[in-house]
Amino acid sequence: MRYTDDFVIISTDRLYLEELIPTISEFLNISLKLELHPKKVTIRKFDHGIDFLGYVVRPHHVLLRNKTKKRIFKKVKAKSEKYSKGLTDGKSIEQSLQSYLGVLSHADAFDISEKLKNDFWFWG
């Protein structure tokens, strides 16, 4: 899986994955003048979940990463505080809320979506 500069390679063969790292590193360095981040290269069991693009992907479900959830609620709260001070309009909050609900729609996050709607629903 790849999205911009983030990618995940899945295999049942750990040795194969370990052997890919130098090949990938060399390609990125020579062809794209990029380097792998040494702290972000991991090999782990799929059952433990793969942290990718703000989600934790597991074999039978996708969860929202806790850090992503906290960031969403923090940003919507900040927008609602601006709204209460008259510094933004309800339409801006509604657009942000709909954007975040779209993010949540890709994960098993029904409860989080409901909390977000209940805590911050505005009609602009």
Q: What is the pLDDT of residues 40-71, one digit of tens each?
A: 898 988 888 888 888 999 989 999 999 999 99
Expressed in angstroms, the distance from the first to the final Cα of the chain is: 38
- In order, the DSSP letters of 30-74 are HHH-----TTS-----GGG-EEETTEEE-SS-EEE-HHHHHHHHH
Q: What is the pLDDT of residues 20-38, one digit of tens each?
A: 999 999 999 999 999 999 8
Stretch (H or E) spanning 11: none
CA separation for the pair 69, 58 (Å, rounded)? 17
The first and second tokens of residue 120, run together, are: 């911050």
The first and second tokens of residue 6, run together, are: 């983030």
